[in-house]
Amino acid sequence: MATNQVADAVLGVSSPRDASLALTGRLSRNLEAITAFFLFLFVIAQPLSIAASHIAYAGAALAWVLRLALVRRGVLKSSPLDLPILIYLLLCTVSTLLSPLPASSWEGMRKVALIFLVLLVAHNVPNARRAKQLLAVLFLSSLAAAAWAGWNYLDGVGLLVHNPMPGTTSYRAGLREGDVILRVDGHNIEKPQEFLRQLNSEPAGKPMQLRVVHGGGIEIMKDAILIAIPSDNGSHARSLTELGMQIETDRPARARAFYSHYVTYAAVLQLLGCLVFGLWLAHRRYSPLSSAIFAGLLLAFGIALAMTLTRAAWLAFAFGCVVELCFFVKHWARTVIIPAILIVAIAGTSLAMHRWRRMGIIDLSDPGTDYRLLMWRDGIKLIGAHPWLGVGMNVVRDAPSRFDLAAYKKYGWQLHFHSTPIEIGVELGLLVLAAWCALMAAYWLTLVRLAAQSRKLADPFPYGLSLGILGATSSFLVSCLVHYDFGDSVVVFLLWFLAGLALALNDQLGRQQKGTAASAGAAA
């Protein structure tokens, strides 16, 4: 046997099992690198494109699952959320199987399954260095989105139509007061003179193709309709006054960056703002450079959040910061600082709403508020009528005639119930709602314990991260009472990504404590 071992060593010959293990190890490392690549791609795309975020998430998940299949032992790690997540998923599956419209409800399961991102991130962030890298990329990408939101205000997003004259070709084609022209013949147009030049450059007989959002809509391409303007309309116009209508650069009333709605952008910003606030609190006495960087990020995200003019997100952000301060400052300071922040937040929000939206924080004359109240009332009735398994995900959306919803009749808007607990209760029933509440409670308590443990460390990053995620989660739980943020993939992606970072940090601290205990035992 000794002779064979010497021969193998000299000739470089290994057994088939050793070769297989070596190949498996290389494949495992390659898949691990691919998973990390897609996670970085995910954090780049998250503030910029929901489609790219889904692609990156799918790539990371596929690479990780292949690695799990290849390396069957020692890869999976337990976490405090394993059982609550499993119960939540099982109950959602049961409710979906018994839905009256299974196809619609299975579509909804795709959003439920995004919770898999928690485990994906938790198992593929091996250390604090990787967490810092991912957060740095996320913050840079989010800054780019905030810069784009600011640029939209400066440069505009289209042309706003005023006083179109009846009888003109543009009026007959469908242009009306308050419409926004986004594109002309496939080109983005933000300046009136650009529109005039494009109009006069059209070949004879060729109609001009406009992409238009009718008044009251959000200036996004997916909501735009095609309007064709015959070439005789103002083809010889030498000035804007000869167009038969007035046009001016349109600027968004509320910031939305690359997202399709300002409420979505506001929800993302409140999470980012709370996260950065926690990191700033933890670093402000340890590293002047890090403190300055986090203060700059907080200012940038705060300005972008203010530009959304979303009252629930503003107040939820303030609440998240207050939660962080409750765990950070000493007892005597809480009685002064926290009430001051709450008073300023409420007063400032009220003044801003009156100034820019002509309404109060709670305004029953506001159509949006009235719509919410009507949907909440009918939602509670539906929960009472279908308490255990709900009516099925997306059933209200796809079969609204089955339900006598007052808000649909009054406003004609077929939207959701504007409250995460009510939406879950209506669609999935009280059992799933109880499981979701238990999951979020277990997660929140895990964050509290994590913040307490990491506070004792010399490195401020783990404490700042846990504190920031605790504040972000608290702000989400408050805002989701009046918004259906849990049904928005963009917001849920960020929420579960932060949850994965928290579980990864929890595992790292647990291993450090075990190592310290083992060293102490060996020394004894």
The DSSP call for residue 365 is T
pLDDT at 239: 63
pLDDT at 208: 83
**What DSSP line would sit under 441-494, residue for residue?**
HHHHHHHHHHHHHHTTSSSHHHHHHHHHHHHHHHHHHHHTTTS-GGG-HHHHHH
Quick check: 194 pLDDT over 80? yes
pLDDT band at 73 (very low <50, low <70, confident <90, very high): low
Average pLDDT, rounded, for the chain: 88
pLDDT at 83: 95
Quick check: 407 pLDDT over 70? yes
What is the rounded CA–CA span in Å between residue 222 and residue 260?
9
pLDDT band at 379 (very low <50, low <70, confident <90, very high): very high
Residues 108-155: tens digit of each pLDDT: 999 999 999 999 999 999 999 999 999 999 999 999 999 999 998 888
What is the rounded CA–CA span in Å between residue 505 and residue 62?
23
pLDDT at 14: 52
Q: Which is higher by pLDDT, 2 or 264?
A: 264
Considering the entire predicted model, what is its pTM?
A: 0.91
3-state helix, strand, coil in the chain (%, to 5): 70, 5, 25
pLDDT band at 477 (very low <50, low <70, confident <90, very high): very high
Quick check: 9 pLDDT over 50? no
Residues 429-447: tens digit of each pLDDT: 999 999 999 999 999 999 9
Quick check: 8 pLDDT over 60? no
What is the residue whose two structure tokens read 């337990």?
A: 78
Of 274, 294, 260, 269, nearest in space to 132 by CA: 294
Rg (CA), the chain: 28
pLDDT at 512: 82
Quick check: 467 pLDDT over 70? yes
pLDDT at 233: 44
pLDDT band at 476 (very low <50, low <70, confident <90, very high): very high
- Residue ranges of alpha helices (H) inside 309-412 are 311-328, 331-352, 367-385, 395-398, 406-411
Residues 411-433: tens digit of each pLDDT: 888 888 999 999 999 999 999 99
Quick check: 235 pLDDT over 60? no
Quick check: 16 pLDDT over 90? no
pLDDT at 236: 55
Instruction: Retrieve residue 123's tokens.
Output: 């198992």
Q: What are phi and psi of 226, to 5 degrees?
A: -90, 130
| Range of weakest confidence among 79-93, 142-156, 358-372 | 358-372
pLDDT > 70: percent of the chain: 91
pLDDT at 6: 46
Q: Which is higher by pLDDT, 73 or 314?
A: 314
CATH numbers and ranges of domains, the chain: 2-70 (no CATH), 82-153+257-511 (no CATH), 157-250 (2.30.42.10)
Distances in Å between the alpha carbon of 170 and those of 163, 210, 212, 246, 248? 11, 10, 12, 12, 16
Mean pLDDT of 80-103: 94
Residues 36-59: tens digit of each pLDDT: 999 999 999 999 999 999 999 999
